[in-house]
Structures are given as C-alpha cells and as structure tokens.
Amino acid sequence: MNFPFVDAHADTIERLYSEKLDFGGDSSLHLDLPRLFGYRAQVFSIWTSPEWTRERALFHSLQMISLFSRVRREKKIRLLLEKKDLDDPSFGAILSLEGASPLVDDPELMEVFFELGVRMVSLTWNERNPFADGLDAALIPEGLTDKGRELVKKMRELGVVLDLSHIAEPGFWDAVGLHPGPLAVSHANAHALCPHPRNLKDEQLEAIAASGGVVGICFAPRFLATGGGDIDDVVRHVDYLREKIGVSCIGLGSDFDGITSTPPGLPDPSGLPLLFDKLSQRGYSEAELRAIAGENWIRLFREVWKAQGISKS
Ligand SMILES: [Zn+2]
C-alpha cells in the first residue's frame, strides 16, 4: 500500500556533503530524489560531529545548508517553511538540526537558522553541549541548562518544532515541563520492546502523547530488536505504540542515511508499501495508515509552525 509519506528524520545531507554523492540518483544513498517519488515531505537533518569544535559545527552546518540550497535549486525542490506550504501536497523538504551545537553557545543564533529555513531542532545529539546532555554513556546526565531553557523559549516564539530525540532523560523531563507541546521525537522506538537507551520508556511515550505530539518510528536495526531487527519488528513497535498511545501519535522517522545498515525488508523507501501492507493485514484502517504514513506529522507541523514562516518586517 502506498500513501503520501512524511519521514521526520534522514541524514542524507551529511552524506551528500561528506561523500560528495549525487542526490539526483546514487544507489549508495538510502534516499535520493527518484526514491522520494510519492513522498509528501522529507525532513533532512543537519548533523554535526561532536568531535568538531562548536565553531567548526557552525561552519560545517552552514556549508551543508548551502549545498542543500544548491541541490534544491537544481532539482526544483520546495522548502516547506510555513503553514500554507503544507496545503500543497506536492513534495517538499523540511530542514532540521540534529543537535543545537551549530548555535555554539548562543540561543539567539536560532534566529539565523530560522531565517535559513530550519523548522525542527533537537537540543543535542549524544554529547553534552551548552544546552543539554545527550545519551553518551560516559555522562552523568543533567537537565537543561539556562541556555537550553532559553533556546526552548526562542523555538516556541519562532514556531520551531522541538525534537526530543537523543536527549538524556533529565533534559527530556525538563523540556516536557517547560513546553506545552506538541512535542516531537523524530526517530526512536519503544524501550519496552527493545531496551536500547535511544528508545522511549512508557512514561516518555505517554508524555509525548499527552502533549499532542508524535513519535517517528526509527528503522535503525539495533533500536528495533536486541541483536538487530527487521521489517516485522517495525510492525511490532507500531502495534505497541498504537496500544500505548494511539495511532494519532505515530509517524515515520526512518534515519535513512544515518544508519549504516537497514532492516531486512526495508532497504530504502521501496520497502514502505510492504510495511503498510503488513499493517493493513493486521487490521489497521486506511485512515489509520494514512495518519501513520504522514498525516500525523503534517498535523504537528501545522500546529507548531507560524502562519508566516519568514519574518518580513
Ligand atoms: Zn539520530
């Protein structure tokens, strides 16, 4: 079964940048333009290495945004920026930051990234940065810093989606207390089925649901099942989330091009129709499948984004 898919997380830009690949068609990528046929939207994240200084992270993030602007112009890809852009069902790209390290240590720089088109941000990747602690096992994690709180406030003012993927639990709960929602977790699964630290415990899933938010099911094999999962494990996680938090809180967050291996049955977007066939066979209605495929993410973006994306004063 095929639907207009919306995927809340892929690292394709970083691969285009570091490996100099061709978005017009490159079989070493998980996502390229031909394979996004039939998609409604793809969130492309800007990932920066914790091994870089934050000033280098800023530099590289600007270079990646610049490269992607060139690709978009050449391939005539729309960038989705404001509510009304979501009314047009033709394909559009959404920019996100995976970790706020490119802001160096200044929440005010969120203004600049907003002007560059960034509409979703996670506070950190796995490392500690001036805003929050990630899931790096070497850390004794703390909650949001004052600058992290300021950044969350700034994102709310601007209408930027707060993505709680990768953040350590104390920061997760600080953000839940600080932000009325809807909150996003762009790519993670259920901890109850696969106890990887990147997955969400039941009370975290419930907090995202209570905020009116969405969790993007992630295809990373080691977040699907201990020892590595396949397409049937994706179905198991969707089933579990349906039972725990309901269909309206489930979306896709593949992590294509961020994961080194893909689950058997889901090598790239060509596996999605089979995934939705399997869900249909388990009794999901067409309306439920459409919601999971993309409509839940569209609803969340509509609620968080402003009527007018780019300031024009
Ligand atoms: Zn990630």
166 Cα–ligand 1 center, Å? 7
Q: Ligand 1 center to residue 162 CA distance, Å? A: 14
Task: State if pTM tops 0.85.
Answer: yes
Q: Mean pLDDT across the stretch 93-107? A: 98
DSSP-assigned letters across all residues of 248-267: GGEEE---BTTSSS--TT-S
Q: What is the whole-number distance in angstroms between the Cα of residue 165 and the centre of ligand 1?
A: 7
Q: Could you tell me the distance, in angstroms and rounded to a whole number, from the CA of residue 218 to the centre of ligand 1? A: 9
- With cut-offs at 50, 70 and 90, classify the pLDDT of residue 312: very low
Q: What was the pLDDT predicted at 155? A: 98
Q: CB of 60 within 8 A of CB of 104?
A: no
Q: Which positions ≥6 away from 162 have C-beta within 8 Å?
A: 120, 121, 122, 123, 152, 155, 156, 175, 179, 183, 184
Of the candidate CATH numbers 3.20.20.140, 3.30.450.20, 3.40.30.10, 3.40.50.1000, the domain formed by 5-304 belongs to: 3.20.20.140
* Domain residue extents for the chain: 5-304
The mean pLDDT value of the chain amounts to 96
Assess whether pLDDT exceeds 70 at residue 142.
Answer: yes
Integer-rounded Cα radius of gyration of the chain: 18
User: pLDDT band at residue 197, thresholds of 50, 70 and 90?
Assistant: very high
Instruction: Supply the pLDDT for residue 306.
Output: 83
Q: How far is the CA of 254 from the centre of ligand 1 (A)?
A: 10
Q: How confident is the model at residue 310 (pLDDT cuts 50, 70, 90)?
A: low
| DSSP 8-state code for residue 40 | E
- 260 C-alpha to ligand 1 centroid (Å): 12
Non-local CB neighbours of 151 within 8 Å, separated by 6+ positions? 100, 103, 107, 110, 121, 123, 131
- From residue 273, alpha-carbon distances to 98, 149, 162, 194, 265 in Å are 27, 40, 29, 24, 10
pLDDT-derived band at 309, boundaries 50, 70, 90: low
Ligand 1 geometric centre to CA of 220 (Å): 9
CA angle, residues 204, 264, 257, in degrees to nearest 5: 65
A 10 A CB-CB count for 169 gives 16
Tokens of 111: 């203004």
Is there a contact between 119 and 80 (Cβ–Cβ < 8 Å)?
A: yes
d(CA 303, ligand 1 centre) in Å = 24
Per-residue pLDDT tens for 212-244? 999 999 999 999 999 999 999 999 999 999 999
Average pLDDT, stretch 71-86? Answer: 97
pLDDT of residue 308: 61
Distance 312 CA to ligand 1 centre (A): 33
Q: What CA–CA distance (Å, rounded) separates 310 from 289?
A: 32
